[in-house]
Structure 1
Amino acid sequence: MPKQEWTKALPRLRTSLDGEIESILKFSFDALCDEEKALFLYIACFFNGEAIEKVEAFLADIFSDVKGSLRILAEKSLISIKWWNLIDMHTLLARLGTEIVRKQSINEPGQRQFLIDAKDICQVLRNDSVGRSLIGIDLKYNELGKELKISERAFEGIYNVRFLRFEYERTVPYAHLHPSPHILENLSCLPREVRLLRWEKFPMTCLPSSINTEFLVEINMRHSNLEKLWEGIKTIKNLKWMNLDNSSNLKELPDLSTATNLRKLKLRGCSSLVELPSSIGNAINLNRLDLRECTNLVKLSFSMEKATNFEVLNLQGCLHLLELPSSIGNLKELYLDNCSSLVKLPSSIRNACYLQHFTCSGCSSLVDLPPPIEGCSSLVDLPSSIGNMVHLKKLYLNDCSSLLELPSSIGSMVHLQE
């Protein structure tokens, strides 16, 4: 074959299965044990590109040894682990997996294990034809040829669907600016055993009151129309990740008293949010809290003393924030840039011996700042307690025009680099 024809054929060969390639890949698949085959299909159809940590959490009660089976798939070169511990399956292997699932029920897509084709998903959700074999639905909005119409009763009587993902592909530029692709006036319920609920641009103001949150591991409703997640108090003991970024109508969070396993809470751009519930103090395993651009947030009246793994608090752009939690625990990173209404920091920050990164440029109202950064034009002096922050690596004092001298204790900051 001439070089020009090979060059033209390469894109097709990378993504399509001809008979010979398929038979070779199928041989490797058939050599796996039943549990490894099942995990292969989960990854091919749903978790390709997902973090290992999350896959292990999602599938913990489905497989006896997720970590061990992932290791075997990697040893057999059926998956690889990319940067940030993301699972990567080659396009041809993923195509093999999706084709195996498609052949489970060619004419009735709702009877397959997974739905990943936009046309099939629209048909199933419009006609209430979700079968008992269905485990996961993965819809990419950018593959829709028309608006998505979802029946009010689409998920009624469905107990086996555990993974729902409705979103734009990450490669779609400015996806957040695209209009909502839904036609959904009401939804009577969601699958009772859902583990992953990732629904970008969710159009309703509240999730169905009947939602069962007992099994939820991750809820991700970026750019949603939500005003609140759900009514009343619900058990969320298995929840580890919550992302409501840019849900600009969100006015309140649910009670977090049972969120003892919550690790990351992302609320960036929730501009209608005024305060967080005090029950967030029960999230003893919280590691990261992102509140950037919550422009109407006024105070954080809770303590993170019990959250021994709480390391990152980002409050950049919280223009009306007046005060921080009384205790910030073992924070390693604190970002307060452009918190222009913040007058002082809690006294507990003076003993923040684990703090490594701290920024607060544009905090023009600060008058008492244990470890200052830049733009604090009202600051006159620094307390000697700044020397307790022995792990601090960066300290910027730009535009602190009223500052006269530095305390001698700054010499104790042995890790200070700039």
Structure 2
Amino acid sequence: MDDRQESQTTSSARPCLKRKLDPEFQGQNQARKILVVEDPNTDVQSNSTATSASFSRSYWNYDVFLSFRGEDNRKNFTDHLYSALVRVGIRTFRDDEELRRGKTISTELLNAIRGSRISIVVFSKGYASSRWCLDELVEIVHCRNTKGHTLLPIFYHVDPSDVRKQAGTFAEAFARYEEWLQTDMERVQRWRVALTEAANCSGWNLESLANGYESSFIEKIVAQVSCEVEPIGLNVARHPIGINYRVDRVKDLLDLGTSDVRIVGIYGMGGIGKTTIAKAAYNQICYGFEGSSCLLNIKEISEQPNGLVRLQEQLLYDILKMKNLKIDSVDQGINLIEKRIHGKRVLVVLDDVDDMGQLHALVGNSEWFGPGSRVIATTRDEHMLIKLGVHGKYKVEELGEEESLQLFNLNAFGIRHPKEDYLELSIGVMKYCRGLPLALEVLGSFLLGRSIGEWKSELEKLQKIPHHQIQEILRISLKSLDDGTMDIFLDIACFFVGMDKEYVIKILDGCGFFPVIGFNILAQRSLVTIDHKNKLRMHDLIRDMGREIIREKSPNLPGKRSRLWFHEEVLNVLRNHTGSKTVEALILNLSELEDVNLETEAFTNMKNLRLLQINVVHLTGSYEHLSKELRWFCWHKCSLTFLPQNFYLENLVILDMQHSNLKQVWKKNKILKKLKVLNLNNSKYLTKSPDFSQVPQLEILILEGCISLVQVHESIGNLKRLISLNLEGCKNLRNLPRSISNLKSLETFNLSGCLKVEKLPEEFGNMMALTELLADGIAIKQLPSSFGLLKNLKTLLLSGCKEQSSKSWLSLLSSWMSPKSLNPVSLLPASISGLRSLTTLDLSERNLSEDGIPIDLGNLSSLRNLDLS
């Protein structure tokens, strides 16, 4: 396949490009197009142009053929022009006149003319005195007329009309020819016709264009020829599905119409197409710069001996065409790049950067480059772009389902649509790949030509063992992670995808992993994402990569792996007591239909177990066999009525016992100095909360749906760090302990559905940190007078309770709104403007009369949501 077939460049993007394709070449091109698969997301014109441009560069042997009279200007003007053309990467043929033999033009020169896309003819005073030059010109004009070549004349100290009419020195030359070649006047006539036709072409006149200044004249010639000549493009992809839209996003960030120096970053997970997009963008815009360079695989090359030096040499060669350049050190290269490129308008692509040293060695800072320069950097690490100070960054998104199917099918079948018998299997592979181009291409190529049975077998295998070629690419992102961050990544991959970020932070912080910085690093490398609900997300193939890292440590003995999550393997380890001290985390999440009884002795050898989930499991035996290193213990549907006294929980950070049969959590006081989260959600037999005297670090307490709960222990007031208390749906709870007012850190308090709670403690207003109070449906008749002290309250829900009268409710409202002017029978409160932070007020179903609306409701400057329905 041609190097440039995937370029999305269109002819409209090149205003200075004027070419007429050789009919012979067009036919050849059509034949070769059979190999080109059209991008369904690209219009016909775009694909055709990209393909034509691709083949045009490889079709011509040279970009430019130089025709000139050596005696006139070989060592001055033409030499300078030749050097300038070569310096900007234009392949130029210049004949060595001293090698000429005989009186007729050589086959070598004929082939050079015919193999050049453009012929530049330097008409000087002595040009016509060379029969060799005139024969060259005849062939050049012939190629222009028959093969679509471009002829560009230069009038070097001669008048174009002298060339056109064969006057002046040209007349003198032809007078001699007509005397010498009387027997070959057809040849002389061909020369005349060629001169006339060449002089009629649009070209350059030294005197009129540059006022005789040759250096300026040459610059203008090189600039226009650069526009005429297609840049050498980069191979983008065999099947560039969906590239157009993504390249356009990058070009928007580049903002090519401005004269400032802009640096733009492209980032995302491995295999997502960052390099492909960067190369496609490069192909489309590189023609508009004085010089351009695309440095691929920087991370890999820079790790090799003198790798950075070689990259510096390539950068200078690409832009300046400096041959045989030798750089001795990175520091020398930095100085050379800064001095030689300074002030030039250049385009540089830096692919796969992962270290600031690479960036400093290659592009330094924006002051190195001239106005209008652009730098595109691709990386897996978003933080690299932040440190680089990019002007814009684009995170590459996965392919959509339709794009994914097309890319997979093109690799698996060579067509956009799967064979009928393979449709469901193709969709299965597409869903497994989750829009990752690398995976779609690798698996498509792997399954090409295989039977349906082989397809099914491979899909089953992928559920347990990811494809090695995909894994190799994805694992590059993990290479420089420290041990703690790697542990965070592996824990998420095996257990925590879809869970709340803050919840997981508490678990991993308890394990000593520093998750706050760890999450940021993983997110910047596109290994983990946080969705709009603050849930941890991970691409399925990234997740499978993490799990495969664990599996391959002990492929045949699951009990010797650090993490266990696969249902059958976990059951096998626990039933056969094959767990070892290597096991750090284990999850067994059964359904209610499964009735599994296990012995606690199965955990005896798992001395380092820190994460354990055993939902709907029945455990028998002594709990002293369980690890003393547990940080997270999750046991939904626990059948115990209380936790055994010999169950060591002192290192526990989160205790999650949702939907349990617990009547009380523990009989005797437990010393749980590290516990931060206690979740007893929907433990319907729980009658009273535990004693909190020895749980000083508790931050989140969830008793939602504990319908038998009648009291909360007075010790709750000792929880100085408690920020969230959820009692929603505790319909038999009657009173709150007075000590609850001591919760100075409490931010969220949910009492909704506590139908029998009739009052709040008088000191309720002491909870100065409270921002959200959800109390709809409670039986409260009077708010405490201290309520007005809750200056940070932003959300208040007091809907429901239809049995209250308008007067009793407005009396309650008055006492809260205006604590200095209490009047239990007043319909209107004196003032409510002191509630500066309130954003949401829900008074729905409160049976308010029209005159019961506070008169200065409009003074609540932060209020955004008001419900009076």
TM-score in terms of structure 2 length: 0.43
Sort the Cα spacing of 1:99 and 1:344 in 2 relative to 1 into closer, same or farther, 3 A.
Answer: same
Pair 1:199-2:638 in alignment: no
The match for 1:208 is: 644
Unaligned runs of 5+ in 1: 168-180
Which deviates further from its counterpart, 408-417 or 355-364?
A: 408-417
Determine if contact 2:741/2:761 at 8 Å carries over to the other structure. Answer: no
Determine if contact 2:699/2:721 at 8 Å carries over to the other structure. Answer: yes
Pair 1:147-2:595 in alignment: yes
Determine if contact 1:122/1:148 at 8 Å carries over to the other structure. Answer: no
The match for 1:317 is: 753
The match for 1:360 is: 798
Determine if contact 1:370/1:385 at 8 Å carries over to the other structure. Answer: no
Pair 1:392-2:838 in alignment: yes
Determine if contact 2:485/2:513 at 8 Å carries over to the other structure. Answer: no
Sort the Cα spacing of 1:395 and 1:138 in 2 relative to 1 into closer, same or farther, 3 A.
Answer: closer
SS of the aligned residue for 2:749 comes to strand
SS of the aligned residue for 1:384 comes to coil
SS of the aligned residue for 2:586 comes to strand
Q: Over aligned residue pairs, what C-alpha RMSD do you find?
A: 3.0
The match for 2:737 is: 301
Measured in 2, the distance between the counterparts of 1:114 and 1:138 equals 9
Measured in 2, the distance between the counterparts of 1:332 and 1:349 equals 13
Determine if contact 2:828/2:855 at 8 Å carries over to the other structure. Answer: no
SS of the aligned residue for 2:493 comes to helix
Question: Displacement of 1:226 after TM fit?
Answer: 0.9
The match for 2:609 is: 161
Determine if contact 2:573/2:579 at 8 Å carries over to the other structure. Answer: yes
Number of residue pairs matched by the alignment: 399
The match for 2:97 is: none
The match for 1:67 is: 516
From 534, 543, 546, the equivalent of 1:94 is 543
Question: Displacement of 1:126 after TM fit?
Answer: 2.7
Question: Displacement of 1:262 after TM fit?
Answer: 2.0
What letter matches 2:542 in structure 1? Answer: L
SS of the aligned residue for 1:150 comes to strand
Measured in 1, the distance between the counterparts of 2:499 and 2:588 equals 15
Identity of aligned residues (%): 32
Which string of whole-angstrom CA distances, capped at 9 and with x for unpartnered residues, describes residues 53-106 of structure 1?
Answer: 344433336556443343333333322333344332221121122122123333
Question: Displacement of 1:224 after TM fit?
Answer: 1.0
Determine if contact 1:352/1:388 at 8 Å carries over to the other structure. Answer: no
SS of the aligned residue for 2:544 comes to helix
Measured in 2, the distance between the counterparts of 1:236 and 1:413 equals 43
Determine if contact 2:623/2:647 at 8 Å carries over to the other structure. Answer: no
Sort the Cα spacing of 1:347 and 1:385 in 2 relative to 1 into closer, same or farther, 3 A.
Answer: farther
Measured in 2, the distance between the counterparts of 1:111 and 1:271 equals 43
From 802, 806, 813, the equivalent of 1:370 is 813
The match for 1:176 is: none
Measured in 2, the distance between the counterparts of 1:406 and 1:145 equals 54
Question: Displacement of 1:380 after TM fit?
Answer: 6.7
Measured in 2, the distance between the counterparts of 1:20 and 1:302 equals 64
Pair 1:115-2:564 in alignment: yes
Sort the Cα spacing of 1:413 and 1:161 in 2 relative to 1 into closer, same or farther, 3 A.
Answer: same
Sort the Cα spacing of 1:360 and 1:56 in 2 relative to 1 into closer, same or farther, 3 A.
Answer: closer
Question: Displacement of 1:293 after TM fit?
Answer: 1.0
Measured in 2, the distance between the counterparts of 1:55 and 1:114 equals 16
Measured in 2, the distance between the counterparts of 1:77 and 1:320 equals 49
Compare relative contact order (CA 8 Å, sep 6+) and give the higher one, 1 or 2: 1
Unaligned runs of 5+ in 2: 1-412, 435-458, 817-823
The match for 2:623 is: 188
Which string of whole-angstrom CA distances, capped at 9 and with x for unpartnered residues, describes residues 23-60 of structure 1?
Answer: 22234434544444333322222233344434443333
What letter matches 2:431 in structure 1? Answer: P
The match for 2:201 is: none
Sort the Cα spacing of 1:400 and 1:33 in 2 relative to 1 into closer, same or farther, 3 A.
Answer: closer
The match for 1:347 is: 785
Which deviates further from its counterpart, 39-48 or 92-101?
A: 39-48
The match for 1:11 is: 431
Measured in 1, the distance between the counterparts of 2:777 and 2:825 equals 15
Question: Displacement of 1:182 after TM fit?
Answer: 3.4
The match for 1:178 is: none
Pair 1:229-2:662 in alignment: no
SS of the aligned residue for 2:474 comes to helix
SS of the aligned residue for 2:470 comes to helix
SS of the aligned residue for 1:339 comes to coil
Determine if contact 1:199/1:222 at 8 Å carries over to the other structure. Answer: yes
Question: Displacement of 1:271 after TM fit?
Answer: 0.6
Which string of whole-angstrom CA distances, capped at 9 and with x for unpartnered residues, describes residues 93-138 of structure 1?
Answer: 2112212212333343222111101112222233333311111112
Measured in 2, the distance between the counterparts of 1:263 and 1:61 equals 13
Which deviates further from its counterpart, 79-88 or 280-289?
A: 79-88
What letter matches 1:415 in structure 2? Answer: S
What letter matches 1:413 in structure 2? Answer: L
Sort the Cα spacing of 1:355 and 1:138 in 2 relative to 1 into closer, same or farther, 3 A.
Answer: same
Determine if contact 1:258/1:282 at 8 Å carries over to the other structure. Answer: no
Sort the Cα spacing of 1:41 and 1:411 in 2 relative to 1 into closer, same or farther, 3 A.
Answer: closer
Question: Displacement of 1:385 after TM fit?
Answer: 6.0
From 274, 281, 291, the equivalent of 2:710 is 274
Pair 1:415-2:862 in alignment: yes
Determine if contact 1:59/1:66 at 8 Å carries over to the other structure. Answer: yes
Measured in 2, the distance between the counterparts of 1:349 and 1:40 equals 45
